[in-house]
Amino acid sequence: MVKLFYSGGRKGNQMMEYSVARIIAESKGYKLYADSIEGFENTKNIVDGNIINNNFYYNKHQFRLDMQHILNHKGGIVLSGYFQRYELIKGHKEKLKNWFYIENDTWKKPGNNDLVVHIRLGDYKNIGKNYLGFDYYYNTIKSESFDNCYIVTDEPTHEDIKKLESEGCKIISNSALEDYYFLRNAKKLVISHSTFSWWAAYLGDAHTIHFPVYSNSDSRGLWGIGYDLDLIIDDDTRIIYKNI
């Protein structure tokens, strides 16, 4: 069996954790024990298989997993961590699209020539350099052509959001699922360093994706120094990497 204990993160983190656990379970023919993710009905699917309740493997690292060691392990698997490394899910995109499929005819979608920008604020304002800053978003917006610019954010009254609104951008701030749906349906997308918009970019319809990376960092993509992760999507030609 594979048993997943979520790390306590938000939607994007949960999606990565669930993905890694289910990939392992299906690859090994093991039963998966993992709570479903609210809004993604296909994560309620039962993943049946062998139940091995001995010789358990417990991951010891928050982000890394030795996938080959796990796949060769003869025993149960217990997982808890963020696992934010693209290599762990690479090659499974069509499965992931199915697991995280969501459709709602009542929710708004952006137009084909609209630019959609995700700006995560909230807790990010107080965590190091996690908020990219007004200039990053403003300059990226100015580098694109579009019919409408939409800002998807968790803090619509923030002064930087109001500045962009005064520049003509329209603000979107609904439920997490509705915001994810809007991001995923964008054709031109600017993501923040958040797994929430990372997933929308990776699984979504965008043909152009602006992706922030730290130029001087021991991690690759989205976060800066001190995070041992790698979310660079090295097989996707839609992405424009932006050094920050």
Dump pLDDT digits (tens) for 35-85: 999 999 999 999 999 999 899 999 888 888 999 999 999 999 999 999 989
Predicted pLDDT at 98: 98
DSSP the chain: -EEE---S--HHHHHHHHHHHHHHHHHHTBPEE-PPPTT-GGGGS----B---SS-EE---SS---HHHHHH--S-EEE-S---BGGGTTT-HHHHHHHT----TTS----TT-EEEEE--GGGGGSTT-S--HHHHHHHHHTS--S-EEEEES-TTSHHHHHHHHTTPEEE---HHHHHHHHHT-SEEE--SSHHHHHHHHHS--SEEEEEE-SS-SSBSSS-TT---B---TT-TTEEEEE-
* Domains of the chain in sequence order: 2-99 (no CATH), 115-243 (3.40.50)
Least trusted range by pLDDT, from 145-149, 199-203, 223-227: 223-227
